[in-house]
């Protein structure tokens, strides 16, 4: 009984802070704090600002920066990772630095982005606390939470080399960590960002390391080896050294049941699969593993034989829903395609019906698109999944003319239309839909809050020279990043272009749907809010609010979680392509809301290095 009381009180205490990337180990991104409400949120003011000193526009240094971190607050200390992979401890009431650890990342190397989404916390009893995080150059560090010094008993001087055992054959291929690991008891469970531009490359296998020593405890083969379950979904020998199928996003842990949930990505290469015929497990699959052993418990593949780069980008949300009046532990998985999947957390049984439907074949020689794909019947997709020429943008004559030129002679596909030899317009694009920001979940009302964008892509498959590793690759038509948008990055279809959607997860119905984001230039022309592209996610509170940055318009917003009405908007120094967090100060009992405003990323050229905390004035 004493143990239960202690456990319950510890949960309440941790809930007032933010000890996990997603608020809890199941990624609900929910806070029970009620100090900030719909009636007083307009009074929020900047409490403090911390500048990391780290920005890159890709001109002086070879890579652009993306400040996507969500800080943690635990035991009255804030922990933050930076784009250059430093780990910093702050006073959460003032933003003043306590200590900083610098892994001395080689900034002359080319990365996808300078980026780190955050650390994870591990405890060995009451006395020992360590901060774990990975780096872009594939080192996993164990840092003493009190001093900021590496733990000398972990690995070699406080770190281990994550490339060993998975990237040895590919010394020049990219491999590293951009998201926090998952912690279960004394295990540090790691995914990775792995190169997927070539068919063969570093393995995306999921590994668990001993938190005390750094020794490997288990390894799950994301591409099943010969004799393992799922190997028969690959053409003979195509599984060997296959790149991709990694978990670059955030795993979730059911601490009570000892289950880890993995959002896995597409096989390499992203958009051609003629050399890997078959369904290609565990590509684009939500996989549940026994967290102690790494043994597969169940899986669901959201795309068979992915040839669109539709990774599972978001942390699975471990939630509770009602079925026939009974509470069911569930897991929801967001997708780039806009589908929202819901499964029984223990058995993997879908909690809304899913149909396998026929989809088009590929015209690309050698490609063999899968004959069917899964279509959830509920909830409805949160993003556009098709386009017709009569939906071409009309926000400005210049935009319409540019976009009309892009689609001359194009094929207009539906979801799962393979990219063809002619220019093909598809929705959503490789960024979604929904991206790594994922969703937040309110356990009081069993409502899921999802931000999404409607941005397509326009591309085609082109023949490669004889002797190439694969015979076909995609080639864009001149628009930035092959997206279906104009030169100002405004989408080519009529708005709205971004939404925040509230979904009743008991019924699968939308409660409300609000346009998310503005384009200031269009607002100045008298055009109503259009919504914008958005990278980053939301947070929901018991106080009645959904907080979200994400949008490419430099705004941070609060919505009424019941109605979807936008209640508070503040202009930031740069767009906040990160997930917010909130906590209550142990000293002052004041509730703070914190967001990283870094800008840049893939959508704009305005950069900042500011972590900003908001609170109600005294």
What residue spans define the domains of the chain? 386-426+457-490
Say which residue the tokens 């940055």 belong to: 549
Tell me the per-residue pLDDT of 603-616, one tens digit each, with 9 for 90 and over. 888 999 999 999 99
- How many beta carbons lie within 10 A of that of residue 212, not counting itself? 16
Prior bond of 512 cis (ω within 30°): no
DSSP classification of residue 206: E
Give the C-alpha separation, 513 to 565, whole Å. 10
Lowest-pLDDT range, 90-94, 101-105, 261-265, 484-488?
484-488
Q: What rounded mean pLDDT belongs to the chain?
A: 95
Give the C-alpha separation, 445 to 506, whole Å. 9
Specify the pTM: 0.96
Res 27: pLDDT: 98
Tell me the per-residue pLDDT of 379-404, one tens digit each, with 9 for 90 and over. 999 999 999 999 999 999 999 999 99
Tell me the per-residue pLDDT of 314-351, one tens digit each, with 9 for 90 and over. 999 999 999 999 999 999 999 999 999 999 999 999 99
In the structure encoding, which two tokens stand for residue 484, read together? 């279906």
In the structure encoding, which two tokens stand for residue 357, read together? 């439907």
In the structure encoding, which two tokens stand for residue 416, read together? 């799962």
Question: 181: closest CA among 265, 252, 130?
Answer: 252
Give the C-alpha separation, 180 to 380, whole Å. 30
Res 12: pLDDT: 46
Distances (CA, A) of 566 to 140, 283, 514: 40, 38, 8
Give the C-alpha separation, 553 to 573, whole Å. 10
Contact of 486 with 567, CB cutoff 8 Å: no
DSSP classification of residue 381: P
Give the C-alpha separation, 201 to 222, whole Å. 13
Question: 488: closest CA among 574, 604, 606?
Answer: 604
Contact of 535 with 586, CB cutoff 8 Å: no
Q: Given a cut of 80, is residue 11 above it in pLDDT? A: no
Phi and psi, residue 402, nearest 5°: -65, -45
- How many beta carbons lie within 10 A of that of residue 51, not counting itself? 13
In the structure encoding, which two tokens stand for residue 51, read together? 């500048």
587: Cα separation from own chain's centroid? 33
Confidence at 15, pLDDT banded by 50, 70, 90: low
Confidence at 4, pLDDT banded by 50, 70, 90: very low
């Amino acid at each position: 009984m004493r143990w239960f009381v202690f456990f319950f009180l510890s949960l309440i205490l941790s809930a007032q802070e933010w000890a996990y990337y997603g608020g809890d180990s199941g990624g609900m991104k929910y806070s029970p704090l009620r100090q900030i409400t719909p009636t007083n949120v307009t009074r929020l003011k900047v409490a403090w600002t911390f500048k990391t000193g780290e920005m890159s526009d890709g001109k002086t240094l070879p890579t652009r920066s993306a400040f996507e971190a969500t800080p943690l607050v635990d035991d009255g200390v804030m922990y933050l990772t930076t784009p250059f992979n430093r780990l910093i401890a702050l006073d959460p009431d003032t933003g003043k630095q306590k200590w900083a650890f610098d892994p001395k990342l080689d900034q002359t190397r080319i990365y996808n982005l300078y980026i780190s989404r955050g650390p994870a916390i591990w405890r060995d009893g009451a006395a020992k606390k360590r901060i774990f995080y990975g780096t872009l150059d594939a080192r996993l560090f164990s840092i003493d939470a009190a001093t900021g010094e590496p733990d000398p008993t972990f690995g070699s001087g406080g770190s281990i080399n994550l490339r060993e055992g998975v990237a040895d054959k590919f010394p020049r291929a990219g491999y590293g960590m951009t998201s926090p690991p998952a912690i279960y008891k004394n295990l540090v469970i790691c995914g990775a960002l792995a190169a997927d531009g070539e068919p063969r490359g570093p393995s995306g296998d999921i590994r668990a390391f001993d938190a005390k020593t750094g020794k490997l405890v288990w390894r799950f083969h994301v591409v099943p080896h010969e004799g393992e379950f799922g190997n028969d979904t690959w053409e003979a020998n195509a599984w060997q050294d296959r790149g991709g199928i990694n978990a670059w996003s955030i795993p979730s842990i059911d601490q009570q049941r000892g289950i880890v949930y993995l959002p896995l990505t597409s096989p390499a290469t992203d958009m051609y699969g003629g050399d890997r015929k078959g369904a290609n497990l565990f590509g684009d699959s939500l996989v549940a593993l026994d967290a102690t052993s790494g043994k597969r418990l169940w899986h669901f593949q959201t795309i068979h034989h992915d040839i669109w780069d539709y990774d599972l980008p978001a942390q699975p949300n471990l939630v509770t829903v009602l079925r026939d009046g009974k509470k069911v532990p569930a897991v929801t998985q967001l997708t780039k395609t806009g589908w929202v999947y819901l499964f029984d957390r223990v058995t993997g049984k879908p909690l809304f019906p899913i149909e396998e439907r026929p989809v088009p074949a590929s015209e690309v020689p050698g490609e063999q698109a899968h004959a069917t794909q899964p279509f959830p019947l509920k909830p409805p997709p949160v993003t556009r999944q098709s386009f017709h020429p009569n939906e071409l943008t009309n926000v400005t004559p210049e935009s319409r003319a540019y976009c009309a030129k892009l689609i001359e002679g194009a094929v207009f596909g539906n979801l799962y239309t393979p990219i063809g030899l002619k220019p093909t317009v598809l929705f959503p694009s490789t960024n979604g839909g929904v991206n790594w920001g994922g969703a937040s979940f309110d356990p009081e009302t069993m409502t899921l809050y999802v931000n999404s964008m409607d941005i397509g892509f326009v591309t085609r498959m082109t023949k490669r020279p004889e002797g190439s590793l694969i015979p076909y690759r995609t080639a864009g038509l001149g628009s930035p990043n092959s997206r279906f948008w104009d030169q100002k990055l405004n989408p080519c279809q009529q708005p709205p272009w971004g939404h925040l959607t509230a979904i009743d997860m008991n019924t699968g119905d939308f409660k409300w749907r609000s346009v998310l984001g503005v384009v200031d230039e269009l607002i100045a022309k008298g055009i109503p809010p259009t919504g914008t592209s958005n990278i980053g996610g939301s947070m929901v509170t018991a106080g009645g609010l959904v907080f979200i940055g994400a949008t490419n318009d430099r705004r941070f917003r609060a919505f009424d979680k019941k109605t979807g009405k936008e209640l508070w908007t503040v202009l930031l120094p740069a767009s906040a392509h990160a997930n917010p967090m909130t906590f209550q100060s142990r000293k002052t009992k004041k509730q703070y809301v914190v967001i990283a405003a870094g800008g840049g990323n893939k959508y704009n050229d305005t950069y900042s290095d500011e972590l900003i905390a908001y609170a109600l004035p005294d």
